Structure 1
Amino acid sequence: MATEPEDLTQPQRDRLAFIELRVRFLGEVRRQDLFTRFSIQAAAATRDLATYKELVPGNIDYDSKSKVYVRTEWFRPLFDFSTARVLTWLTQGYGDNEPVRHRPLIATEAATEISQPDLETLSVITRAVHRKMAVQITYRALTSGLTTREIVPFALADSGSRWHVRAYDRRSQEFRDFVLARITDAHFVDGPIADAERPDQDIQWNRIVELELVPHPANMRNPDTIETEYGMSDGKLVTRVRAALVGYMLRRWNVDCTPDHSLKGGENHLWLKNRQALYGVANLVLAPGYKPEDEGA
C-alpha cells in the first residue's frame, strides 16, 4: 500500500521536510546530511529518501557518480514552507521541523512583512550560491525599470525591511545588492565564474567597519535607558558590520550620522560617535543625516 503524508510519524515528517529543504533550496541532499542532522543509521536515511520519492515521484534523482540526490526539472513541493521560515533556515538554521500550521505556546505577533520574494525564484538564487553558478535574472530597478542581466550571487542579506542577494553584476561589472522581491525570473547560466566575480574580490563585503553608537546627546533625556536597552558598556555600543551592510544597519536603527547630532526626530535614539569610520563605505545614501560635504566636520 502506498505511503500517504498523513501516515507518517512526526519524526518522519521532520526528516522528509529536511530532505525537501535541502533539495529545493540547495539543489541536492546526501544520506550523510540526514546522518549528521538526525543521528540516524544509513538504512533509515535510505528509507526516508525512498519514502520521499514515493510521495512525490519525479522530485529527485540519484546521481550515482557524485552519490547525491539532486533536484529535477519537474520538482513540485510537498510541504508548504513560509518564506520567513525558509529564510530563517537558510541564514540562521533552526530545528527543521516540518512546517505545519500550529498554535504558539504564548500569544505572539510580529510586524507584517510586506516585501516577500517568490520562493521558486529564491530557490534558483540559493542553489546558484551553493553551486557557485551565474544566474540570468529579470529585474525591476528603481532607476532603469525592467532589465535583464546576469549576476553571480554569493550571499543573502537582510536589510531589516527587505531581503537582498549580494552578487557580481556582469552588466555594470561591479558587486551590488539586488532586492529579491524585484526579481521576477531567474535561470542558471552555464560557464565558469571569472576570478573578478568571486566573493573575495568584493571589497565592500569583505571590509569590516567598527561603529561606536551612543545615546543621542540631544534627544535622550535619560541616556541610561538607552544604555540598558542596547547593552552598552561605558556609555557606548561598539558593533562590527560589513561595509556593504552599514547603510542598512544605520537606517534600520535610525542612527543619527550628522557630525553635530542635529537630527531631532523622536525615532533617533542613537548617534554615531566615530563618523570617520564611514570613510569609503558605498551605501551611505541610506544613513540618516549623512552628507558627503560634512566629511571635514
Structure 2
Amino acid sequence: MAITYEYAKLVEEFGSSAERLAFVDFKLRFTGIIQRTDLAEAFNLAEASSSRLLSQYHELKKDNMVYDRSRKMNVICNESYTPIIAMDAETALGMLSHGFNKNRLLDKPVLKYARIGKVPEQLEVEQVPKITRAMFNQHAISCEYISANSDNHEARELVPLTLISDGKNWLFRAYDRSSTERYNFKNFNFSRACNIKALNDKNQAAQSSELLNHDAKWNSMQAVLLELHPELSDGLKAAIRRDYGMQDNQNEIVLTERGALIWLLCNQWLVDKSEEINEGRYYNFLLKNRSMLKDYL
C-alpha cells in the first residue's frame, strides 16, 4: 500500500494503534531498523503485542522492511520503502534528539504561535535519513558538500557521528575520510550536503579511530570567557544581560562548551573573536580568553 497519512488521518483510520505505527515508521525510516525491544521500551508492550504490531505494520507496508535473521531485527528496504506517516525533516531531527512525541505530528499548539524566518524545504526529507541511518549504524556515506570555506565540491566520504543544533540550523559531526587536513573530525550542515549515497558494505563500516571517542575536540570541555562588548551602549548592555540571564551590572559570563562547538557558539552569540577589538561590526560579546581557545576558532 503506497498511501502516506497525515497523523490525524492515521488516528482516524487505526485508532489507538496509530501512535505505535507512526513510531515504527519513524524508527525504521530514520535509523534503518526496528526491534520488538524498541516497542517494549517506548510503549511498555509485551513481546507478543510488539510482534502483532510489527505484523500489522508489515501488512500495511509489505515492501518497507525485511527480517534480518543474522541480526535478529527488522531492517529497512531502502529501494522500496515508502512512509506511512508524513513527516518533515526538522520534526524528525527534533525527535531523534529528544525522543518520539506524537504531539509533534499533530501540529496543534496549546497557545497561538508563530515562527520567524522558517525556510521552506531547507532540509530534504529524502536525504536526511541517509545521514541519520549511517549515524545510527556506524556506516559511511558519500556526498558532495557546499562549503563556505572551500571550492572543493567533489564527492567526499564521511562517517556521521552525532547531531548538532545551534537553534537555527541542524548540523552533524562527522569524520571526513577524504580530508587531507591534520584534523579530520568536522561539523557539517545538513542543508549543504547533496547527492548523498549510503555506503553499507562491511568494508565501509566506521573504524574505531573514526568514532566520536577519538574526536579530541568533541571530548574536550573548554571554559569560554565572554565580556559584554565595550562598543555597546549602556542600554544595549542592560538588554543583553536580560537576554543571557546575567545579573544587573554583570559584565562577564563564563560558559563550558565542547571545543568542537566553540566556533559555532561564537557565531551564534555574535562574539568578537578578533585579536583586537573590532569597532566596525556589531557584537554582543568580546572573547576574553581567545589565546586559550585559538585551536578551536
TM surpasses 0.5:
yes
2:131 matches 1:125: yes
Q: Structure 1: any 5+ residue segments left out of the alignment?
A: 285-297
2:56 matches 1:63: no
Q: After the TM superposition, which of the residue ranges 226-235 and 36-45 deviates more from structure 2?
A: 226-235
Shift of residue 98, structure 1, vs aligned partner? 6.9
1:45-73 Cα shifts (integer Å, max 9, x gaps): 22221221122221112223333111113
Q: 1:227 aligns with which of 241, 244, 252?
A: 241
CA distance in 2, matches of 1:51, 1:64: 19
* Partner AA of 2:55 in structure 1: A
**CA distance 1:263–1:12, change in 2 (3 Å):** farther
* Partner AA of 2:254 in structure 1: V
* Partner AA of 2:283 in structure 1: N
1:159-187 Cα shifts (integer Å, max 9, x gaps): 44432222121211522223222222222
Q: 2:211 aligns with which of 188, 198, 201?
A: 198
Q: Is 1:13–1:98's contact at 8 Å kept on the other side of the alignment?
A: no
CA distance in 1, matches of 2:191, 2:43: 33
Paired residue secondary structure (2:155): strand
**CA distance 1:97–1:105, change in 2 (3 Å):** closer
CA distance in 2, matches of 1:86, 1:26: 11
2:220 matches 1:214: no
* Partner AA of 2:271 in structure 1: V
Residue of structure 2 equivalent to 1:144: 151
CA distance in 1, matches of 2:70, 2:152: 44
Q: 1:180 aligns with which of 173, 185, 190?
A: 190
Matching of residues 35-46 of structure 1 within 5 Å: 35-46=40-51
Residue of structure 2 equivalent to 1:278: 293
Matched residues, percent identical?
Answer: 28
1:11-30 Cα shifts (integer Å, max 9, x gaps): 42111111111111111111
**CA distance 1:97–1:53, change in 2 (3 Å):** farther
2:262 matches 1:246: yes
Residue of structure 2 equivalent to 1:292: none
Q: Is 2:89–2:128's contact at 8 Å kept on the other side of the alignment?
A: no
Q: After the TM superposition, which of the residue ranges 50-59 and 271-280 deviates more from structure 2?
A: 271-280
Residue of structure 1 equivalent to 2:26: 21
Residue of structure 2 equivalent to 1:295: none
2:92 matches 1:78: no
TM score, norm. by length of structure 2: 0.82
Q: 1:236 aligns with which of 252, 255, 262?
A: 252
Paired residue secondary structure (2:173): strand
Paired residue secondary structure (1:237): strand
Paired residue secondary structure (2:86): coil
TM score, norm. by length of structure 1: 0.82
Paired residue secondary structure (2:66): strand
CA distance in 2, matches of 1:211, 1:237: 8
Q: After the TM superposition, which of the residue ranges 36-45 and 220-229 deviates more from structure 2?
A: 220-229
Coordinate RMSD, CA, aligned: 2.5
Q: Is 1:159–1:245's contact at 8 Å kept on the other side of the alignment?
A: no
CA distance in 2, matches of 1:94, 1:51: 20
1:219-263 Cα shifts (integer Å, max 9, x gaps): 041444433331236543322222222111111111223456444
CA distance in 2, matches of 1:181, 1:277: 32
* Partner AA of 2:253 in structure 1: L
CA distance in 2, matches of 1:144, 1:262: 28
**CA distance 1:182–1:257, change in 2 (3 Å):** closer
Q: What is the count of residue pairs matched by the alignment?
A: 276
Q: Structure 2: any 5+ residue segments left out of the alignment?
A: 1-8
